[in-house]
Amino acid sequence: MNKLDQLKQRSQVVADTGDIDAIRRYRPQDATTNPSLLFKAAQLPQYKGLIQESLEWATHHHSGANSSETARLAAIKLAVSIGSEILQLIPGVVSTEVDARLSFDTRATIDYARHLVALYEREGVARERVLIKVAATWEGIAAAEILEREGIHCNLTLLFCLSQAIACAEAGVTLISPFVGRILDWHLANGDRKAFSGEEDPGVLSVRNIYHYYKSRDYSTIVMGASFRNAEEIEALAGCDRLTISPQLLQSLEESEGLLVGGLPTVNEPLPRPEGRLCEAAFRYQLNSDAMATEKLAEGIRNFVKDQERLEMLLQSQVMGRRETDAATNP
């Protein structure tokens, strides 16, 4: 077997893409999307029909909205439409992200998540097949705890340190996406070393630490390694509950015929859970004490916001073009 097939025997493989053709090729169990991936997908010709449907929906259901608001609503509908298309090709779940501009607003995050789920249900997609992606800020984790009680399952993303992971587990979230490659990026940019092997990669070590913490204390929250820079990182985390992988690295693994020998060690010894929950003050202090986690969380939110705004600008230009055409046709 190639390494991708070997990996599928040890971990649930998830496609980190909004590209339906890639999902069709690699046949993952689940798929994840985010604003950056949706922005790329929206520029592919095969999504032209979905974009037009989303614009028509936003225009019809919110006829009084200005062009920027119409574009914002169309972006939400497009995310759900692409997610629904993906779900026709996979047996599992798709992750769809809450607007990163709401990362520090618990109530707005809850409302946005409910809106996404309602749109999916109108498409005939049960909420059990959707994970709502939320940034692992204190406010995002608080929102996810409330959503989970409503049967809306969450994927906490932009997760870079153990304190974020502990707060997520204590909140009872379904899944976390601890990042690997972005942690490596930070250490390469801010340390003396210019390379790390898979076994000593700081991103790999971070996910291993989180995985061991969860499994040794019997938390049910799923650990899904994310944001990989190379196949070596993936191999070093074989055995993790789930791994979300880009099409490029899926192809690299598929083309490799060697033996996949790395992976996570078995967790045997039971350990007691901490008494009481991690409070907000401790969470914020621990996050602030970790320069890497603080910087990468902030940077990740900024970049998702930027791509969300780029997607909306792309859609807004089409809204304005349609309105100009209508005005010329019906003076």
Active site residues: 133
| Alpha-helix runs per DSSP H in 66-105 | 67-87
- Give the integer Cα–Cα distance in Å for 204 and 239: 13
Q: Let me know: does 214 contact 236? Beta carbons within 8 Å.
A: no
Which residues, 6 or more positions from 301, have their beta carbon under 8 angstroms from its beta carbon? Answer: 100, 103, 135, 137, 158
- Give the integer Cα–Cα distance in Å for 53 and 149: 32
Q: Let me know: does 147 contact 131? Beta carbons within 8 Å.
A: no
- Give the integer Cα–Cα distance in Å for 194 and 188: 6
Q: Let me know: does 17 contact 3? Beta carbons within 8 Å.
A: no
Q: Which amino acid is at 163?
A: S
- Give the integer Cα–Cα distance in Å for 251 and 269: 36
- Give the integer Cα–Cα distance in Å for 240 and 237: 6
For every residue of 181-223, DSSP letters joined together read HHHHHHHHHHSS-S---TTT-HHHHHHHHHHHHHHHTT--PEE
- Give the integer Cα–Cα distance in Å for 96 and 81: 11
Residue 261: CB atoms within 10 Å:
8
Q: What's the CA angle centered on 176, arms 170 and 181, to 5 degrees?
A: 135
